[in-house]
Each structure stands twice: as C-alpha cells, then as structure tokens.
Structure 1
Amino acid sequence: MSEVVMQSGQIMVGAHKGIYVIKLVGDVRLNLCASFDDFIDSMFTHEDFTDVVFDLHGTQGVDSTTLGLMAKIAIRALERGCQKPLALSADAGIRHLLDAMGFDALIEVSDERRDYGAETRPLQCTAPDECAAREKVLEAHRVLMSMNQHNADTFRDLVHTLERGCTPVAKPSTRMH
C-alpha cells in the first residue's frame, strides 16, 4: 500500500488586467493565515478588479476555513456585479467537495488549464494571535453557513463553540477612588 504524502500548503496570488488569480498549492489550511483575509480586502479596493480565478490544479486538500474565504471572495465579487468566479480543477475530490458545499451557486468550475498572464507570488502568511485567528475562522464558517442549510447544520456546533471561546479581557479601571 502506498502512502499519500500531503504537501504543505501555499497560496500564490497575482493579477493581470484586472483578473486576480489565487492559486492554492498542496494541502491548504488557513486557520493561522490572516494574510489571505488581508489580501482579499486589498484585492477589492483595486479599481481595476474585474474577475477572480481560483487555480486549484495543484491543490491536494483544502480546509473549511479556506473554503469559507473562497466563498467570501465569490460573494463579494458577485455583489460588485462581476460574473461568477472561476475555479480550475481536474481533481474529482476537490470538485466533489465544492459541489457538496454548494459552491455551484457562487462559482463556475472547469477542469481546463488556463494561463491568465498573471505572475503569481507566494502570499506571506503571518500567524495572528489566538483570538484574531479564531475570529477569522469564525467569519469564514459563518459565510459557509449562509450558503445553504446543509452547511448551516454542518458548522453550527463549531461556530457556537468558537463564539464562546474568545471573550475580550476586561481592562482594570484606572479611575482613582
């Protein structure tokens, strides 16, 4: 029996003529990568933004937080009046995952390989503090829950747990008595 070795994940990003390419490589787990969410916010501030493409040809695995951020991108693009983002993947498992999560309502999926002329560069990930990481994971899962009832049922307990997990610490009063 051969053992499958998952390549550590990496996110590559680039843009060409208003088309933003997000390439997920290896086993992408984003619960500690606040940089991707920052990139998403920055991407939508560019006036030349016209479309987004997810290149998943090199993706071996993707966690639910990553899926939630992909959904966030698709929703924001559609709200901006863009066409559905495109996800490129020939992997049956990745395509099944997208279908099972209800992404057909948000993105088009193709097994084609396309060159968009975008030079991609690795996104430098920074590990946020525990509370900030939890907030990013929570937001991503809320987006997934908003997509359909199946996702709402699947992630409800996780979201409730995360909501209870990080409460701001009350600062002591500096008032003099």
Structure 2
Amino acid sequence: MNAGKIQAAGEHGDYRLKFTGDVRLTLCNSLDQFLDKMFKDPGFHSVLIDLTQTEGIDSTSLGMLAKLAVQAKKRFEYVPTIVSTNPDITRILLSMGFDRVFNLLETAEFEAVPLKEIVCETCSEQVVKGHVLNAHRTLMDLNERNREAFSELVKNLESK
C-alpha cells in the first residue's frame, strides 16, 4: 500500500478533502486543524470527501470523518458527501454506519480544483492519544455495533 496523504481545497465555502493511499492516525492532528479552520469559515456550506484513491483507512481516521459529519449536521444542518469507488472502503463505511451521517456516492464528477497536501505535523503522544480517544468515542456514538467494537479500546485509553 502507498503511504497515505490528505489533500484539501476550499473556496467560497465549498471544501474538498481527498484521501489517497493508506490513511492512518499520523495524519489526524493535521486533519483536525484543517477541520477546525474549515468550520470557522463563515461562508462554509459544503464539503466533499473523495476516497476514490484510498487504499486503506484506519478507525481513527474514520472517527475524524465521523466527527466532521456530526459537526456539519450540528452546526450547519448539512450532510457531507463521501465518494468511494473501492468496494472494500465502501464496505467499511457502511459497517461503521456512515450511510446514516453522510451521503455516500459510488461515482461523481469533480471540478478541476487544485488541491494542496495537508502536511503531517508531528505532535506529542498525548495529543495523538486524545485524537484516537475522541475519534473512537465519535464512532461509538454512531451505532451499537461500533460501541461494542471500540468500548474496550476507549476504556483502555481512558485508564492510561
């Protein structure tokens, strides 16, 4: 698998995130900072997540996406869209309950927008732990299956 990267663009309140390769928790701090900036945009009104070139994605990254969906709904009454053409990725999204908080598409036409890579910033172990914990709590709130799958991990992280 190719190393993961996240690219982004935002213009006039329209945002796009593109995940490529094997996306892991090492990118979560940078993604979290981008999401905070995006949601502070007074003109925000849409976000599209392109997973068409995603080869793998871990549960922390999925939790960050779930957080994006929860915040978009809560703050803007908006349901974001994910495009996934990889059946394995789509199966993961469905198993996590993403069809309840995202519009899931198998195809989409994209406007030619220059994307910039979100640079992976190093952060402390404590910050990473916080991202992992919050991401998994968010996933647990999506459905009972996730609650069962991640409750032990969350309990272990909380006790450390």
TM-score, length-scaled by structure 1: 0.86
The aligned length equals 160
79-88 or 45-54, larger mean C-alpha shift: 79-88
Return the alpha-carbon distance in structure 1 between the equivalents of residues 38 and 8 of structure 2. 10
149-158 or 23-32, larger mean C-alpha shift: 23-32
How far is 1:84 from its partner? 1.4
Aligned to 1:49: 44
**1:47 counterpart letter in structure 2:** P
Aligned to 2:78: 83
Unaligned 5+ runs, structure 1: 1-5, 166-177
Structure in which a larger fraction of residues adopt helix: 2
Q: Indicate how the Cα distance of structure 1 residues 32 and 109 shifts in structure 2: closer, same or farther if over 3 A, else same.
A: closer
Return the alpha-carbon distance in structure 2 between the equivalents of residues 11 and 32 of structure 1. 8
Q: 2:5 aligns with which of 7, 10, 18?
A: 10
Question: Secondary structure of 1:58's partner?
Answer: strand
Aligned to 1:30: 25
**1:97 counterpart letter in structure 2:** I
Q: Compute the RMSD of aligned alpha carbons.
A: 1.3
Q: Percent identity?
A: 37
After TM superposition, what 4+ stretches of structure 1 lie above 6 angstroms from structure 2? Answer: none
Aligned to 2:118: 123
Higher Rg: 1
**2:88 counterpart letter in structure 1:** G
135-144 or 76-85, larger mean C-alpha shift: 76-85
Return the alpha-carbon distance in structure 2 between the equivalents of residues 47 and 122 of structure 1. 23
TM-score, length-scaled by structure 2: 0.95
Unaligned 5+ runs, structure 2: none
How far is 1:32 from its partner? 5.6
